[in-house]
Amino acid sequence: MDEQVRILLIEDDEGIAELYRFRLANDGYIVDVAGDGEEGLVRAKATTPDLIFLDLRLPTMSGLDVLRRIRADPATAPIPVVIVTNFDEPDLRSQGVSLGALEFLVKADTVPAQLSASAARWTGTHSSAEA
Amino acid sequence: MTLGGASELRVTSTAVDLLAVTDPNEIRSRLVQLGLDQTGADRCTLTSIDQGVFRVEDSCEQGGQPQFVGREYPLTYAADQPLLRQAIATGKTVTGGGFAEQGRTHPELGDALRGIKHTAVVPLKLGADVGALLILSRRLDHPFRAGDLDHLGRIGNLAVLALRNARLLEGVNAAQRRGLDALTLISEHAAIIDCLPDFFGRMSSSVAGLAGARAAAYWVVHGDHLSAQPDAYGFTPLQLAAMSIPMAAALRGGLRRVLYGGESLRYERGSKNTDFALSPIAADTYNFLAVPWRTSEGPLGILVAYDSATGFGEQDEWIMRLSARASALVWQSHVAERRVSELQATELERLEVYSRRMAELERQKSNFLKLASHELRSPITILRGYLSMMTDGTLGELKPSVGETALRMDTQVRRIKDLVDQMLTAARLEDSDMATVTSETRIDEVARSVVDSMSQTSARSQQISVRAPRPATAMADPRHVETIIGNLLSNAIKYSPAGGKVVVSVRAQPDCVEVDVSDQGIGISAETISRLFKPFSRGDEAELRAIDGAGLGLYLSRELAREQGGDVTVRSNVGRGSTFTLRLPRRPLSDASDAVAGLPSEIASTVPVG
């Protein structure tokens, strides 16, 4: 990769954050991890990542609210967002999609390679996993 | 002069005829007629003597018709007449000359008695007393014959007896009518009275009418007082407010015998025997009749009728007792009815509380299951993630034994994930917001999409194919159909040997759509089939038995299918494979559910493919 692609991971579960960070970093991405929605919004504005992986169940502010705020701020509105959650309720899925999430991944069904593939798809890169 | 046998016979047969008559008027008419025929008198008059009253009843003149007179005189009139006085005193027939010569006559009778030459007075006895007199008179100077008078007296005695019987019979008939009236009235009330205040108002007004009284009241034992019911008939509210006495006071008087002894009690204002304790019961009335008011369970109080113009007689008491009995029966049935409905209400309330608690517990359980399964998903995700990176080389080259171990661990982690997913589905099944919403659903399309996604993710080597030659539409919830077919398919894959065929076929039947999921696996024994669709309930030692791979999946599938008015059934040949069939109604639940649920699977599966 000529220019390093930056990914923001908004995820409160440290075990999962570390798993995904490891894999994405291993595949050559620069990974920022935010443990809650507030921090995620600050990071998103400060670093303008190429992609955000967003968890839905977060402390203090729900993932859907975070997504709304990202969309409401012109500085972060264009950033592609993929929802990664273990809450695969149908209405959450449709709400996420209507708020402009590109994809709705269920963590338990998504191994790190698939997450990396999603990152490659939405950032237009070719990760080592797909290569 | 002697009477022949024929004459005796005539007297007897006349008497028998007379006794057969039940109408008192008829008896009296016949008797005076007989007096003329028997003695050849110009006039025969029947008088009665009753409680100080001398009453001229009927009279008949030779050649005329018997006439009812009905005139009353004081008994002193009879006492002024020597013949009458003597006949009444001795009870024997007396004869004499003209009436006018015998003593003072009543001014009104002057003309009628003039010119009479012979008189006979025949006393008619009722028991030991003289109850009536037959007075015979003749203007011709020809004395009455003793024999004729004797015969007349004998027949007359019988006639008086017949009269009394007729009067008694009349009384009995009247009593029967009154009794029947009372029962009719009260039973009509029973049909329309549905609350207790109304009961006492209606009943007391009826009782007053039946007993010929101005007013009536139910006095009811309530706590330590005996009180008139507030809607008693014929009293003002002010009077009623004062109509209550302490039980202690009531029981000191004769009321004890009414309440507990079943006796009746009469009261007359000013009479010497007046029980002082009764004056509160009497209120402002001048007479009353009290009878017990009780059910089979015991005394309730007393029923009192007030102010009878003629005084309360035996028959009134009888009517009152009858009314009290009947109204107590009605009251008892109302109380019983109220108790039953109160009991029902209490029971209903308890059931509602219970069902609310159950619903709350159910909700908590389902919430817990949802929470638990979501929480479990995170560690599963992490385990799967690292295991996948071990096996896909991300973590570098592994020793073959470690690689194999990682694969085995991955299989087990998937098992945990499946179980957690099923738990979540089970919890959702009981959620109201996950209620089944059916719509026209292309079952063939759902089946294809499930097979597509399973084919991609399945690591196994089974050949999965779909046979859905025609569109098949059913009234179903597409989310549920997806879950069911997914479950059936994943079972079929699990139990198929490597390279085995799994076929999903969709058929539209006249009433339903059938989806068969067939495998070539080991098959299922009949004994296992019987417990296949039960969640975890496998007998008393459920925990000790191994949970087979199907786990909750089949139970959930069947529950979901039934929610939509369909079902899941299974046919299997041990060693050759199994076919699970999902049936879904083509019409909305209300009119199609019976048809589908009632259709045996064997019959359904032999219907030609549509």
pLDDT (tens digit, 9 = 90+) per residue, B2-36?
444 556 666 667 767 777 777 888 888 888 988 88
Section B446-455 average pLDDT: 84
Q: Per-residue pLDDT for A40 more than 80?
A: yes
- The radius of gyration of chain A from alpha carbons, rounded to an integer in Å, stands at 13
> Residue A108: which of B389, B417, B479 has the nearest Cβ?
B417
pLDDT tier at A83, thresholds 50, 70, 90: very high
Helices (H) and strands (E) in chain A, counts: 5, 5
Q: Taking an 8 Å Cβ-Cβ cutoff, which residues of chain A contact chain B?
A: 13, 15-16, 19-20, 23, 26, 57, 86-87, 90, 107-108, 110-113, 129
Residue B367: which residues within 8 A CB-CB, separation 6 or more? B427
**Residues B39, B33: Cα–Cα separation, whole Å:** 10
Contact yes or no for A86 and B381 at CB 8 A: yes
Instruction: Look over chain A and give the mean of its residue pLDDT values, rounded to a whole number.
Output: 89
Closest among B237, B465, B428, B199 to B333, alpha carbons compared: B199
Cβ-based contacts of B389 with chain A (< 8 Å): 23, 111-113
Closest among B32, B25, B95 to B59, alpha carbons compared: B32
Mean pLDDT is lowest, of A33-47, A63-77, A101-115, B1-15, for B1-15
**Residue B433, min C-alpha distance to chain A (Å):** 10
Contact yes or no for B382 and A86 at CB 8 A: no
Cβ-based contacts of A87 with chain B (< 8 Å): 374
Q: Which of A111-125, B77-91, B93-107 has the highest mean pLDDT?
A: A111-125
pLDDT of residue A81: 96
pLDDT tier at B549, thresholds 50, 70, 90: very low
Q: Which of B371, B375, B380, B381 best tests the A interface by mutation, with the highest count of A CBs <10 A?
A: B381
SS3 of residue B50 by DSSP: strand
Cβ-based contacts of A19 with chain B (< 8 Å): 381-382, 385-386
Q: Which of A58, A85, A87, A109 best tests the B interface by mutation, with the highest count of B CBs <10 A?
A: A109
Closest among A48, A67, A58 to A123, alpha carbons compared: A48
Q: Per-residue pLDDT for A33 more than 80?
A: yes
The pair of three-digit structure tokens given for residue B528, joined into one six-digit string: 């296992």
What chain A residue is nearest to B416 in terms of C-alpha separation? A108
Query: Any idea what DSSP says for residue B433?
Result: G
Q: Which of A13, A24, A86, A110 best tests the B interface by mutation, with the highest count of B CBs <10 A?
A: A86
pLDDT tier at B122, thresholds 50, 70, 90: very high
Contact yes or no for A19 and B388 at CB 8 A: no
pLDDT of residue B598: 41
**Residue B381, min C-alpha distance to chain A (Å):** 5
The pair of three-digit structure tokens given for residue A91, joined into one six-digit string: 């209405």
Q: Per-residue pLDDT for B106 more than 70?
A: no
What chain B residue is nearest to A24 in terms of C-alpha separation? B394
pLDDT tier at A129, thresholds 50, 70, 90: very low
**Residue B419, min C-alpha distance to chain A (Å):** 12
User: Which single residue is written with the structure tokens 């113009």?
Assistant: B309
pLDDT of residue B385: 92
Section B572-589 average pLDDT: 85
Contact yes or no for B394 and A107 at CB 8 A: no
Residue B384: which residues within 8 A CB-CB, separation 6 or more? A108, A111, B410, B413, B414, B417
Percentage of chain B beyond pLDDT 90 is: 14
* A:B CB pairs within 8 Å: 49
Helix axes of A37-47 and A63-72: crossing angle, nearest 10 degrees: 30
Bridge partners of B304?
B217, B290
pLDDT tier at B1, thresholds 50, 70, 90: very low
Which helix or strand (DSSP H or E) is residue B292 part of?
strand B287-295
Q: Per-residue pLDDT for B406 more than 70?
A: yes
**Residues B86, B376: Cα–Cα separation, whole Å:** 126
Cβ-based contacts of A13 with chain B (< 8 Å): 378
Cβ-based contacts of A86 with chain B (< 8 Å): 374, 377-378, 381
Cβ-based contacts of A57 with chain B (< 8 Å): 374
Contact yes or no for B379 and A15 at CB 8 A: yes
> Residue A111: which of B379, B385, B479 has the nearest Cβ?
B385
pLDDT of residue A93: 83
pLDDT tier at B603, thresholds 50, 70, 90: very low
Q: Per-residue pLDDT for B291 more than 90?
A: yes
SS3 of residue B194 by DSSP: coil
pLDDT of residue B340: 83
**Residues B548, B525: Cα–Cα separation, whole Å:** 14
**Residue A75, min C-alpha distance to chain B (Å):** 32
SS3 of residue B196 by DSSP: helix
- Pick B584 or B76 by higher pLDDT: B584
pLDDT tier at B292, thresholds 50, 70, 90: very high
**Residue B538, min C-alpha distance to chain A (Å):** 30
Cβ-based contacts of B436 with chain A (< 8 Å): none
pLDDT of residue B545: 42
What chain B residue is nearest to A18 in terms of C-alpha separation? B382
Contact yes or no for A26 and B388 at CB 8 A: no
SS3 of residue B312 by DSSP: coil
pLDDT tier at A101, thresholds 50, 70, 90: very high
pLDDT of residue B609: 33
Give the Å distances, CA to CA, from B368 to B51, B327, B424, B426: 97, 61, 10, 12
| CA angle in degrees (0–180, nearest 5) for B501-B601-B606 | 75
Alpha helices in B458-494 (DSSP H): 478-494
pLDDT tier at B37, thresholds 50, 70, 90: confident
Q: Per-residue pLDDT for B580 more than 80?
A: yes
**Residue A25, min C-alpha distance to chain B (Å):** 12
Contact yes or no for B385 and A112 at CB 8 A: yes
**Residues B18, B10: Cα–Cα separation, whole Å:** 12
Contact yes or no for B378 and A110 at CB 8 A: no
For residue range B459-490, what is the model confidence (pLDDT) as tens digits? Answer: 556 788 899 888 899 999 888 898 899 888 88
Section B196-200 average pLDDT: 72
Instruction: Look over chain B and give the mean of its residue pLDDT values, rounded to a whole number.
Output: 80
| CA angle in degrees (0–180, nearest 5) for B374-B378-B381 | 120
pLDDT of residue A130: 41
Closest among B230, B234, B295 to B262, alpha carbons compared: B295
Contact yes or no for B382 and A112 at CB 8 A: no
Contact yes or no for B389 and A16 at CB 8 A: no
Section B268-296 average pLDDT: 78
pLDDT of residue B7: 62
- Pick B92 or B78 by higher pLDDT: B92
Contact yes or no for B384 and A111 at CB 8 A: yes
pLDDT tier at B528, thresholds 50, 70, 90: confident
**Residues B508, A16: Cα–Cα separation, whole Å:** 46
Q: Which amino acid is at B120?
A: A
- Pick B130 or B551 by higher pLDDT: B130
Bridge partners of B126?
B129
**Residue A24, min C-alpha distance to chain B (Å):** 11
Residue A37: which residues within 8 A CB-CB, separation 6 or more? A10, A58, A59, A60, A61, A62, A63, A65, A66, A69
